Amino acid sequence: MDNGKKKMKKKSKLAVDILMTLTLLFLMGYQLWGETAHEWAGAFMLVLFLAHHVLNTAWHRNLFRGKYTRVRILTSAVDLALFVVMICLMVSGITMSRHVFAFLPISGGMGTARLVHMAACYWGFALMAFHLGLHWGMTLARFRQMLGMDRSSGIRCTVLRIAGGLTAGYGLYVFVTRDLATYMFLRTQFVFLDYSESPISFYIDYLAMTGLFIWIAHYLSAILLRPGRKIPSVKKKTVS
C-alpha cells in the first residue's frame, strides 16, 4: 500500500472513530431526541461499526499472532468485550425497533431485548471511552499531525494533565450521582429519564464521564508500559 492510500486509510479510521463516539453520545440522550431519531442514529451506528471493522481487518488477522504484552492483553480484552457488547446492542435494538427495522418479521423477546439493550448501552458507553483512552496518545498524535502542530510543550502538557484530572474527577462524581452502575449491572429494570433536562447539562455530564474512562485507560496503559524495576545485584565482598 502506497503512502497516499495509507494516509487516506488513517484519516478514514479517525473519522469513523470520531463519528462513532459522537453518535454514541447522541444515542445516550434518548429522552432528548425521541424514539425515531434514536433508531436512525442506531442504524447509522451499525454502519459505522461495520466500517470500523472493515478498516481494521489487520486486528482480526493478528489476533492470534505475536507476543501478548500486558498492554496488549488489556487492549484485546477491552476490544473483544466492546465487540460483544456492540453485537448485543445491535441485535436487541433491531428486535425492539418500531421504525427503521419494523419490516422485519420479529415477534416476542421484547422484555429480554429491553434489558439486554439497557445494560449493553451503558457498558458500550464505558468500554468505547475506555477503548479510546487506550489509544489516546496515538489519537492526539494524529490530531497534531493533521493540525500541523509540533510536539506538545511542557506547559501545554501540564495544562492538559490538570484539565484531564479535573474532568475525570467531575466525571466520577457524575457517574456516581447518575447511578450508572445500577443500570450496567441490571440492579433495576428501568432507567430514570429526565425529559426536562437541558441537552447542554446532559452532554457536559456525559462528556465528563467519557473523559473519566479515557483518563483511567490512558494512565493505566502508561503504568503497564513501564518496565519492571530490576533488583540491584549485591556484590559479595571477598575476605582476604
The total number of structural domains that make up the chain: 1
- Which tens digit of pLDDT belongs to each residue from 76-104? 999 999 999 999 999 999 999 999 999 99
What is the pLDDT confidence band of residue 26, given thresholds at 50, 70 and 90?
A: very high
Residue 66 forms part of a structural domain? yes
Q: Could you write out the DSSP letters of every residue in 139-155?
A: HHHHHHHHHT--SPPHH
Residue 204 forms part of a structural domain? yes
Residue 1 above 80 pLDDT? no
Residue 167 forms part of a structural domain? yes
Residue 238 forms part of a structural domain? no
Residue 104 forms part of a structural domain? yes
What is the pLDDT confidence band of residue 240, given thresholds at 50, 70 and 90?
A: very low
Residue 150 above 80 pLDDT? no
Residue 233 forms part of a structural domain? no
Residue 232 forms part of a structural domain? no
- The three-class DSSP label of residue 2 is coil
Domain that includes residue 121, residue range: 3-224
Residue 159 forms part of a structural domain? yes
